[in-house]
Chains A and B, each alone.
Chain A
Amino acid sequence: MLASFQLFNMVFLTAKMFNQSLNSWMFFFNLMMMMLISAIWWRDVVREPTFESRHTKEVLKGLKIGMMLFITSEVFFFLSFFWAFFHSSLSPDIFIGQKWPCKGIKSFNPMSIPLMNTLILLSSGVTLTVSHHFMMLGQKKKSTQFLILTVVLGIYFSVLQYVEYLEASFSIADSVYGSCFFMATGFHGIHVLIGTVFLSICLIRNIKKHFSSYHHFGFEAAAWYWHFVDVVWLFLYICIYWFGK
C-alpha cells in the first residue's frame, strides 16, 4: 500500500517537475521512501526462500511465470520507443528538414564508444553464462569470480554511456531525434543500472551461500533480465546508432 502511494506521488511530482518546477525536497523524500520500501520488500523476497524455505516447486513455477511476464511487459515498453523512432525516421517530416538525423543534429559515430559498449555487454552476457554454469557445477568460487567480472562490465558500460552523454552535441530537447535517442538509450541505461544492482545482490547472495547448484532462481531471474537488457542494446545499436546515424 505504501509502495503504491509512493509511486503515485513519484508520478505526480515528476509531472509537476515537467510542467512547473521541481520541488526537490519532496521528490528526494519520495525517492528515498520508494527505495526504502523496495529494499524492505526485496529483503523479504530473499528471506522467504533462504531462511523460511518457501520455494516449493509450485512457488518457483509462479515466480518463473511472473518474471517472464515482467520481461514481456518490458519488451513492449521498449517497443514503443522503437516505434516512435521508426515513425519519425523512416519518412522524415518537412519540419525536421526531410532528413534523418534531423537538420542540425550531429549524431554519434557508431564505430566509436557504442561499438565498445556492444562488445562490453556481449562479453558480460558470456561471463554471466559461464558463472551460471560454474554455479550449476557447484563451483562457487569460480562462479563468484565470473559474476564479479559481469558486474564490473556492467559498471564499465554505465561509465562509458555517461561519458558519451557528456560528449553529446545535442540534448533530449533537440528535435525528435534527441527525444527518441535519449528516451531509448536513457531508459536502457536505467535498466543496465538496475540489472547491475540485481546481479550485485546475486553476487552477495552467492558469497553468502544462499544458492545451491539446483535452486538459484534469484540468479536465473537476474540472468534473464541481463540478457534482455543485452538484446535491447543490440537493437538500439543496430537501429538507432547504426541505421539512424
Chain B
Amino acid sequence: MALQRVLVSLARRSFSTASTTSPMSRLFANTDYTPNPLEHASGIEKKQLIAELAGNDDPFDVSVVKRGACTKDQPQVVLSCNHERLVGCICEEDSESVVWMWLRQNESKRCACGYWFKLQKKEPL
C-alpha cells in the first residue's frame, strides 16, 4: 500500500504545476486551455510575430532589396544591428553571379560595377 501511495504521488508530482493567476503560470497549468500562437511565443519569435502584425514582413532585414540610385551621393542604405554586414550586389539585371562584399560602419563602399552602398546601424529587434 505504501509503495502504491508513493508511486501515485510521484506520478502526480511529475505532471503537476503550480497554479497561480499570472499569465505565465496559466500557460503551463494543467488545463485544456491552449494559448494562441502569439501568447505562446516569447522572445525573438514573439517580436517577429508582433512586427508582422504591425505590417513589417521583414523585421530582420534579410530579404532582397531592389536598389535605388546607388550613387556616391545617394548610396544604397543597408541596415544592420552589427558594425559590419556582408552584402551581395547583383550588378546587372541578368547577372549570373552575386558579388559579395563586407560593408563596414561609417564608410561607403563601391562595388566594382559602380553602385555605392552604405551601412546604417539599427537597433536589434
Contact = CB atoms under 8 A, between A and B. Distances in A.
Contacts of A138: 34, 36
A212 B42 CA distance: 12
A53 B34 contact: no
B15 A212 contact: no
A213 B41 contact: no
A43 interface: no
B48 A56 contact: yes
B37 A54 contact: no
B62 A53 contact: no
Contact of B37 (A52, A140, A209, A213): A213
B65 to A, nearest CB: 16
Contact of B40 (A52, A208, A212): A212
A53 B36 contact: no
A49 B40 CA distance: 11
Contacts of A141: 32
B45 A53 contact: yes
B15 A213 contact: no
A215 B60 contact: no
Given A58-B62, A207-B15, A213 B44 contact: no
A55 B44 CA distance: 8
B45 A214 contact: no
A21 B27 CA distance: 54
A139 interface: yes
Interface in B11-59: 15, 27-28, 32, 34-37, 39-46, 48
Contacts of A52: 43
Contacts of B35: 209, 212
Nearest to B35: A212
Interface in A122-146: 138-141
Contacts of B42: 53
B49 to A, nearest CB: 9
Contacts of B43: 52-54
A138 B31 CA distance: 12
Contact of B34 (A54, A207, A213): A213
A40 to B, nearest CB: 20
Interface string A29-55: 000000000000000000001001111
A54 B41 CA distance: 10
A56 to B, nearest CB: 5
A50 to B, nearest CB: 9
B32 A139 contact: yes
Given A207-B15, A209-B27, A53 B32 contact: no
Contacts of B34: 138-140, 209, 212-213
A209 B44 contact: no
B45 to A, nearest CB: 4
Contacts of A49: 45
Interface string A198-224: 000000000111001111000000000
Q: Nearest 3 pairs between A and B by C-beta?
A: A53-B43, A212-B40, A214-B37
Given A53-B44, A141-B32, 5 more contacts: A49-B45, A53-B46, A54-B45, A139-B34, A209-B27
7 contacts: A53-B42, A58-B60, A209-B35, A212-B36, A213-B34, A215-B41, A215-B45
